[in-house]
Structure formats: C-alpha cells, structure tokens
C-alpha cells in the first residue's frame, strides 16, 4: 500500500504586526507553530461557516406548522415542568 503525501502550498500571508505577535504568543503557549495555529484557525472558521450554511439550508426547508402540530398532539406523559415552553404558539 502506498502512502499519499499531503498536498500543501505556500501562501504568503500578510497580517498586522500586533496580530502576528498575539498569534506567536498563543502558539508558543500551546506548543504549536504559528503555521499550525493559522491552519487550525482557518479550518475552524471554515467548519463554522459550513455548519451555519448547513443549518440555514435545513431551516429554510422546515415546515413550522407541521412541527407545531406534532408538538400539540395528545398522548404520552405530560411534559416535565422544566420542559415547558412559554411560547403560546407552540
């Protein structure tokens, strides 16, 4: 089995000196390189943006009236007092 090498490219990044100093301090404290810190920060930001897009897309497909009907249906145990909602619409 052959191992695949991770592809990477060099990207000259410009950032304010104050930001670079803060990154240097945090990465040193965490025991990582500035490069690793920046890569992780970019990956986290991309993940957060993709997650927000996913939930926005899913939310746009939601049938709120169907969800309310489901929540109003009779049967089962009454909700625990800590689970009650103050919203009269639900």
DSSP secondary structure of 30-46: HT--HHHHHHHHHHHHH
> What pTM does this model have?
0.62
Give me the pLDDT at residue 75, please. 80
User: Quick one: average pLDDT of 59-69?
Assistant: 91
pLDDT tens digits for 27-42? 999 999 999 999 999 9
């Amino acid at each position: 089995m052959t191992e695949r090498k991770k592809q990477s490219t060099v990207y000259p990044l410009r950032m304010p000196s104050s930001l670079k100093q803060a990154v240097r301090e945090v990465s040193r404290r965490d025991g990582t390189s500035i490069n690793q810190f920046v890569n992780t920060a970019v990956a986290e930001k991309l993940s957060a943006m993709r997650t927000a897009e996913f939930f926005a897309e899913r939310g746009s497909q939601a049938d709120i009236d169907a969800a309310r009907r489901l929540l109003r249906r009779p049967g089962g145990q009454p909700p625990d007092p800590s689970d009650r909602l103050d919203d009269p619409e639900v």
